[in-house]
Structure 1
Amino acid sequence: MPTKARGLHISLPIAHRMSSMLFYRDAFGFELVGEPTEDGVPEPLMFRIDQRTLLALIPADGLGWVLGDTRELAPAGTSECLMGLEVATKQEVTDLVERIRSSGGKVLAGPEHKPWGYTALCADPDGHVWEIDVESPPEH
């Protein structure tokens, strides 16, 4: 029987709650979930990406605690996964890349045309890599 997911939660380790909150709010415009605590950041720090997807940003020591003694977090600067965000137009790719840059992220590559579409690679302040793209229409 196939798994019928009710939702998807993506958890990424972070160094600073406030700077991560500001980056994902300002660069991507994701919807913040929950009421702010005394430091102005919701606990847990989560963003709604769409109706079924949540992005949780967890301090690295807290995520290490969840993983337990049998797994270690990847060293800083190492990518274990590539987050992808598809947008509708080339202009949206370009605009999002500029918001990422101005919000403290790094542009690693692009925007440029690749065989699979118009794409760019960017990193958040903690080095998590995002591929921003618009899919190329199929050739006939």
Structure 2
Amino acid sequence: MPIPRISLLTLGVADLARSRAFYESLGWKPAYPDCDKIVFFQVGELAVALYPRDELLQDCGMAGASPAPGGITLAHNVAERDMVDALMAEAVAAGGTVLDAPRDKPWGYTGYFADPDGHPWEVAHVPSLKLDEAGRIILG
């Protein structure tokens, strides 16, 4: 049995150019800068793709599905509490929208923003989660 993993996360987006600009303004570098049909970013060991939402739903056989797929949040965990505020500010400056301002919660200090397509991102400092030098969560 292969090791469990997620190798690619694809976000369905309303406007590919707008979403690409948003993530590029956060410092993400597209892997294939000349491609205008899909955008790939290397994010650590994971790849993230942006793909037009209608085409993604068509591709996976969910066009017209009701309710529409959802129920996912993305997270960027950081090693220091002040990095939460800095990353939230960077996301807002790039065109993101604050969903929940950073605040103390039982598990740490976190806030949420939405990208231009409404995908919710959590920025979190959770002291009980160990991060390696590359910022990856080390479980166990």
What is the TM-score when the length of structure 2 is the normalising length? 0.80
Greater Cα shift, 3-12 or 84-93: 3-12
> Displacement of 1:58 after TM fit?
0.7
Q: Which of 44, 49, 53 does residue 60 from structure 1 map onto?
A: 53
Residue 99 (structure 1) aligns with: 90
Q: What is the RMSD computed on CA atoms of the aligned residues?
A: 2.4
Structure 1 residue 116 corresponds to structure 2 residue 107 = yes
Contact 1:64/1:73 (8 A) holds in 2: no
Relative distance call for 1:133 and 1:101 in structure 2 (3 A) is same
SS at the partner of 2:3? Answer: coil
Q: Which of 29, 32, 35 does residue 30 from structure 2 map onto?
A: 32
Please list every run of 5 or more consecutive structure 2 residues that lacks an aligned counterpart in the other structure: 130-140
Residue 47 (structure 1) aligns with: 41
Residue 80 (structure 1) aligns with: 71
What is the TM-score when the length of structure 1 is the normalising length? 0.80
1:96-123 CA-to-partner distances (Å, cap 9, x unmatched) read 1011111111011121111111100110
Contact 2:16/2:38 (8 A) holds in 1: no
Contact 2:81/2:109 (8 A) holds in 1: yes
Contact 1:79/1:129 (8 A) holds in 2: no
CA distance in 2, matches of 1:126, 1:25: 15
1:14-36 CA-to-partner distances (Å, cap 9, x unmatched) read 01111101111113x22311132
SS at the partner of 2:30? Answer: strand
Whichever residue aligns with residue 61 of structure 1, its letter is D
Relative distance call for 1:17 and 1:69 in structure 2 (3 A) is closer
Whichever residue aligns with residue 98 of structure 2, its letter is V
SS at the partner of 1:48? Answer: strand
